[in-house]
Amino acid sequence: MLDRLLLVIHLVLAFYTTLANCAAQEPLILPGYKVGETIPVSCLNRTIDTGEHITDASGQLSYIPFPICNETGRPFELLFGVEKDINCTIDFIDDPFFHLLEFYVHNDAPLTCRIPTKPIPPSLLMKEFEAGTTDNTDGQGSLSEVYTPMIVALAGTLQLSHLHVSTNLNVLVHAAAKSVAPGTIAAVTAYSVSRDPPTRIVIGDNLPLRFSVRWYPNTSLPSGWTGVGGHLTFSTLVYCILSALASAAVCVAYFRGVELPRRLKSHGKDRLGGMERGGLGGYGIANGNGNGYGYGVGKRD
């Protein structure tokens, strides 16, 4: 009897221990983003000598937060589902960062960044940091499976004493379909566009980056290209109709104002001239003999 009681107690204690351990663990399914929720951007840490990536003691890639923007006092970040133009001025380009810009602009090393695919619980980041798998403060070492890569294609040209950087960038973010995985990042990319002349950068200057962020509710990219010449659209049809009406109005005005009076005047002169020729001996005036084809006044014998 005592053995049975001890067995039951042991089983109960094992059950509650397992239940407590499960409750203490983080859920495997992370909650998705809500509209307007901030999404931090972190980038791969690189050396200024060769542009190679930096790893920590355990061999994990080291990521650091994006440089701080003067406008917000925080690193550059996105807002889930919010389309807007974001200004991010990086103050005082020091010598190390200037050399990194040279790598990025010359495409010797890409500006490799990433964003969390879903919000990461702070407790999970703290466990990652305490485990020693990362050497930065945001705890983003071996959590690559919960991040979406974000390659920033920064365009520009290298000069001997300065850089020219295209500081206008488009940011395209695809969210997973709401019916499949609501609040989840599917893909993201950023690239420079030639909207304004490139910005000249030397050591000590600031770098005024301007991000135009656009979101897509699924992984499909809508077509915005209509080809050379385009297809027939409503605006094109209206333009053609208005052009035809304007051309017709000009033609009618010219005919009634210029061509018709000229023709009437010419026709009147022709008729008046014919009548004058008939009265002086022209055709069609009867002669004295009563014939209809004589010349002027008939001659009497």
Summarised one tens digit per residue, pLDDT across range 254-271 is 877 887 788 777 776 766
- Output the average pLDDT for the chain: 79
For residues 43 and 63, give the distance between their C-alpha atoms in angstroms, rounded to a whole number: 5
* pLDDT given for residue 136 in this prediction: 43
Q: For residues 199-210, b (16+ Cβ closer than 10 Å) or e, as one string?
A: bebeeebebbbe
Would you place residue 60 in the very low, low, confident or very high pLDDT band (cuts 50, 70, 90)? Answer: confident
Q: What is the largest CA-CA distance in the chain?
A: 174
Task: Report the DSSP beta bridge partners of residue 55.
Answer: 61
Task: Give the sign of the dihedral formed by CA 292, CA 293, CA 294, CA 296.
Answer: positive
Q: Which of 112-126, 144-158, 252-266 has the highest mean pLDDT?
A: 144-158
Burial class for 126, CB neighbours closer than 10 Å (0-12, 13-18, 19+): exposed
Where are the chain's structural domains?
30-216, 229-268
* pLDDT given for residue 184 in this prediction: 95
Instruction: Dig out the tokens for 255 from the structure.
Output: 């005919």
Half-sphere exposure of 109 (CA within 13 A, CB side): 19
Q: Which residue has the higher pLDDT, 147 or 160?
A: 147
Is 113 in contact with 152 (CB distance < 8 Å)? yes
Residues recorded for the chain:
301
Summarised one tens digit per residue, pLDDT across range 84-101 is 999 999 999 999 999 999
In this prediction the pTM is 0.63
Check whether 129 has a pLDDT greater than 90.
no
Q: Among all chains, which residue has been given the structure tokens 């893909």?
A: 187
Q: Which residue has the higher pLDDT, 283 or 173?
A: 173
275-283: average pLDDT: 51
Q: For residues 137-151, b (16+ Cβ closer than 10 Å) or e, as one string?
A: ebbbbebeeebbebe
* pLDDT given for residue 301 in this prediction: 46
Check whether 139 has a pLDDT greater than 50.
no
